[in-house]
Chains A and B, each alone.
Chain A
Amino acid sequence: MGFEVTQNGEVTLVEVEGQLIVGNRQELKQQVLEQLEGGDKKFVIDFAKTGYIDSSGLGVLVSLSKKIREQGGELRLSSLNEDLRTLFELTKLDTLFRIADTKEQALEGF
């Protein structure tokens, strides 16, 4: 379980491995905020290797999206599996985020 951060041109790509839950949400938040404070504006968080996100994980994504927007940037999400998409649809967070099918699509034209 962890987060892999890579730079793709101007876009910071964060790949979540395992789960994004109450126990590790602060680690993701800290990593993204450090990049944001360093001047990064464009972020993609990819969930291709993610099994589960809990409500705390959803909450940290909402919080990060707001902070990034306040700095004039954007957070996009990608690669939600069927279960994760269900969580976003139930909570209507699919209306709050731009969600791509793959990280390549999310990075494209960012």
Chain B
Amino acid sequence: MAAERIPQEQDLVLELPTDIRSIEHAVDYVMRRCRNCSEQERRLDFNFRVGLTEALSNAMLYGNSRDPSKRVLVEVALQGGRLEARVTDQGVGFDPTIVPDPTSPENLAKPCGRGLFLMRQLLDEVSYNDQGNQVTLVLRLQSGGILEGGVQA
């Protein structure tokens, strides 16, 4: 499914093909590597899972335009209770400031456009690089947590 890179301490690095079938497995894999205490379980297992899934979907569907020759890089790090996932595609990038609000009445019945909105709602920080082909998601975990190393895909 994914090529591996040598992980830094407390980091996970995955390189995925542009294949939407790999998203579920990749997210499950990252989630299995993230351990935390019970009171944080929902924020980790729901908010972070949703955010990472949406970031990978956007990278493959829109960033890489489903081009199977392009890759998506996923880097996950946990430091001081700050869980950060950086997702980079090989597309030309986009301007995240011009994405319309999917909850406005004129957009509510549209079938797409909710991915970035959900990321922004559920994560503590969502930021893009200048090119717009790399999104960084941050979830703050009050009680810290453990990110297991030993990447295996």
Hey, which bits of chain A sit against chain B, CB under 8 A?
Answer: 19, 21-23, 52, 54-56, 58-60, 62-63, 66, 83, 86-87, 90-93, 95-96
Contact = CB atoms under 8 A, between A and B. Distances in A.
A23 B26 CA distance: 13
B146 interface: no
Given A22-B57, A54-B54, A90-B118, A96 B108 contact: yes
A93 B113 CA distance: 13
Contacts of A22: 20, 23, 57, 61
B4 interface: no
Instruction: Give the top 4 A-B pairs by smallest Cβ distance, nearest first.
Output: A55-B114, A59-B111, A55-B115, A63-B111
B73 interface: no
A91 B103 contact: yes
Chain A interface, >50% SS class: helix
A55 B109 contact: no
B57 A56 contact: yes
Chain B interface, >50% SS class: helix
Interface in B96-139: 102-103, 108-115, 117-118, 121-122
A62 B53 contact: no
Interface of B: 20-21, 23-24, 42, 46, 49-50, 53-54, 57, 61, 102-103, 108-115, 117-118, 121-122
B114 A59 contact: yes
Q: Give the most central of A54, A60, A95: most B CB within 10 Å.
A: A54
Contacts of A66: 109
B53 to A, nearest CB: 5
A52 B50 contact: yes
Contact of B50 (A23, A54, A62, A93): A54
Given A21-B53, A83-B46, A90-B118, A60 B23 contact: no
20 contacts: A21-B53, A22-B20, A23-B23, A54-B50, A55-B57, A55-B112, A55-B117, A56-B112, A59-B112, A59-B114, A63-B111, A66-B109, A87-B50, A90-B121, A90-B122, A91-B102, A91-B114, A91-B117, A93-B108, A96-B108
Contacts of B114: 55, 58-59, 91
Contacts of A21: 23-24, 53, 57
